Structure 1
Amino acid sequence: MAVYTPVTPAQLDTLLADYDLGTCIDFKGIEGGIENTNYFVTLEQDGKQTEYVLTLFEEFSYEEMPFFVELGQWLAQRQVPVPYAIEDRHGIGLKQLNGRPAFLQPRFVGGHRDQQELTPTNCASIGRALARFHLAGQDFFLTRQAHRGVFWWRRESENIAPRLSHEDAGLLTEEVRLFDELRQTHGESLPRGIIHGDLFHDNALFVGDEVEAILDIYNAATAFWLFDLAIVANDWCVNPDGSIDPARERALLDAYAEVRSFADVERQTWPQLCRTAAMRFWLSRLIPWLGISQASRQGGEMKLKDPDELKRILLARIAQPAVL
């Protein structure tokens, strides 16, 4: 989370006038994160203070947002702890603020865990939570193509290849080709549905050792469930050198399978999907790292993350194929 688009107290008061949630006594920008502008908002009503999160979306148009409004409310109604757009007194959750689509959402009370503090118990907890997320969304009535999915990485890998070393360009091109091959061979048989799409460790909150909430569902799309699990494994179970901690990964996979069993085709495709997940985030980090601007962001500098971290994970997944 971060602040790219400023919000004034007067603008916030105008938005809050549509709700019956109380009077604003404090709001402040949330630093950290990558894609959207976020504020903590404290409201007081009848002597009681309640905290909320206001999110302004930097990369989506107003017309793209109903999918996320419906998905957040759908999951929350099925006891999946995710942020969702709170409806105003007229039943409207999607707002517009400072030229950006915006939500007012509940704030969860849990805390983050640093990556190298994650334990097998933590990984088991997110495994169960992700499986419940997948099953809760399997009959969701809307679909969405990932905005950074297969067509995006085909195009962007070609665009940036001339700016990479010969070795890196070849690695990127080969991983894109291998996923195309997997998709052609197994695309019809791999279980799919709504995925989170960005469930890194900083998009979860903990109370004790258990996951209390899954945050930032705004990369959600209709895709292979196993790809979503591979994203988690590559982040939650990784060592500083890019290798995978087998104890954490085993805990993650076993806990997920307790809620949703794996199909045989998923066991077959898991090694490549772990590589594809690493490639996708290596590519999305390379683009801003190379100074290629993202025109959709209104203001502020994008916070950069080191692409070599994901390259190391990709190389580790190639050297030591994953086992489901």
Structure 2
Amino acid sequence: MAVFTPIELDDISHWISEDFNIGQASEIRGIHGGIENSNFFLDTIQAGKKQEYVLTIFERLSAQQLPYYLELMRHLANKDIPVPKPIENHKGEILFSLKGKPAAIVSKLPGLSRLQPEAKHCAMVGEMLAKMHLAGKDFAKTQENLRSLGWWQKTIPLVLPHLNTSQKDLLTHELATQEAFFSSAAYDTIPQGASHCDLFRDNVLFDTQGSTDTSQDQLGGFFDFYFAGTDKWVFDLAVTANDWCLADNKQDLDPERLNALMNAYQAVRPLTKEEQASWPLMLRAAALRFWVSRLWDFYLPRDAQMLTPHDPTHFERILLSRRSL
């Protein structure tokens, strides 16, 4: 998350009090991190009590694309999956315009991120990811993952001029491998549905129950669904594994964390034979997706307050590791 479109309290106070039933806006603070949208913590006062929300101004997604993400969050929240729930205005709308751009307000989840997760954190994430996939089976809307193969094919030529020879060879070879995989009959048999597609450690919160002892942690919820899409569930699992289950060298998979994630996921939704067979290539696809994205953000950045591009070589090393499996 970052701030591309600055917002002050005076910009929204009247709007919040007139259009919503969430009280009077009392404070707004830009959120540091990420690279896609302008995000703010929004505090309000209602009946003398402080309430907390997240306000997002969408910088790249269009008003036509956004209903998928917002309706998916509402659908999951209504099925007791712990995700931010979009806030309706008095007209029942959940998508608005602010400073000429699409915007939304969602509930704020409790807890904090565990950036150095233990196996038990991976297990909690695996279990809830499987429950989320099943809860989304009857979600009526569909929308492709906008950062999947078609986007890689368009973006890779833009970043290639910035890379050295070995990086260019790795990137083009992996793209060709994934193009063949995506066009195969085996790929078509893999189950799919609504997927988060970006379930990194900083997109999950754990409620600490007021304790510094991590053994008391409970899952607070998943957030930042704005890369979600209709995709293969096992790809969503691979994205998660590539971030949550890293070994101490930050590139290989840690067996204890990986087993905890996979066992907990499959206790809820066992993988099909086709999914199991696709796992090595899905791990590579997940690594490629984020290497390309980080290359794009690093070499072709946009201006923003509080913007910190991620190091693209992190996922280059992960891709090399997954190719060795």
8 A Cα contact 1:197 1:220, kept in partner: yes
Q: Identify which of 250, 253, 257 aligns with 1:244.
A: 253
Task: Provide the rounded CA distance (Å) in 2 between the counterparts of 1:58 and 1:293.
Answer: 13
Instruction: For structure 1, list consecutive stretches of 5 or more residues without a partner in the other structure.
Output: none
Q: Deviations over 1:157-209 (max 9, x none)?
A: 23322332221111111111111222222222001011101110000000243
Could you say which residue in structure 2 is the equivalent of 1:315?
320
**Is the partner of 2:19 in helix, strand or coil?**
coil
Give the match's secondary structure for 2:152: helix
The C-alpha deviation readout for 1:213-254, integer Å capped at 9, x for no partner, is: 101001010111111110111100112421111100011001
Aligned equivalents of 2:162, 2:106: Cα separation in 1: 41
**Residue 85 (structure 1) shift:** 1.5
User: Is the Cα–Cα contact under 8 Å of residues 237 and 244 in structure 1 kept in the other structure?
Assistant: yes
CA distance in 2, matches of 1:289, 1:69: 28
SS in 2 for 1:62: coil
Q: Distance in 1 between matches of 2:117 and 2:123?
A: 10
Contact 2:2 2:305 in 1 (8 A): no
Q: Check the 8 A contact 2:83/2:221 in 1, yes or no.
A: yes
> 1:234 aligned to 2:263?
no
SS in 2 for 1:38: strand
Mean CA deviation greater in 145-154 or 120-129: 145-154
Answering whether residue 250 of structure 2 is matched by residue 268 of structure 1, we say no
2:154 & 2:53 partners in 1: Cα distance? 38
Give 5+ residue unaligned stretches, structure 2: 208-215
Once the two structures are superposed, the pairs formed by residues 1-324 of structure 1 within 5 Å of their partners are 1-16=1-16, 17-114=18-115, 117-185=116-184, 186-207=186-207, 208-241=216-249, 242-290=251-299, 292-293=300-301, 299-300=304-305, 302-319=307-324, 321=325
Q: CA RMSD in A?
A: 1.5
Cα distance in 2 for residues equivalent to 1:14 and 1:65: 24
Residue identity opposite 1:305 in structure 2: H
Instruction: Figure out how many residues of one structure are paired with residues of the other and give that number.
Output: 314
Q: Which amino acid aligns with 1:248?
A: R
Shift of 1:31: 1.5
Q: Which secondary structure state, in structure 2, belongs to the residue aligned with residue 63 of structure 1?
A: coil
SS in 2 for 1:54: strand
Deviation, structure 1 residue 293? 3.9
Q: Which amino acid aligns with 1:172?
A: L
In the alignment, the residues of structure 1 paired with residue 41 and residue 305 of structure 2 have an alpha-carbon distance, to the nearest angstrom, of 19
Structure 2 Cα separation of the partners of residues 158 and 8 of structure 1: 39
Deviations 1:289-312 (A, max 9, x none): 22x245xx7x44742101111111
Amino acid in structure 2 at the alignment position of 1:119: E
Deviation at 1:70, TM superposition (A): 1.2
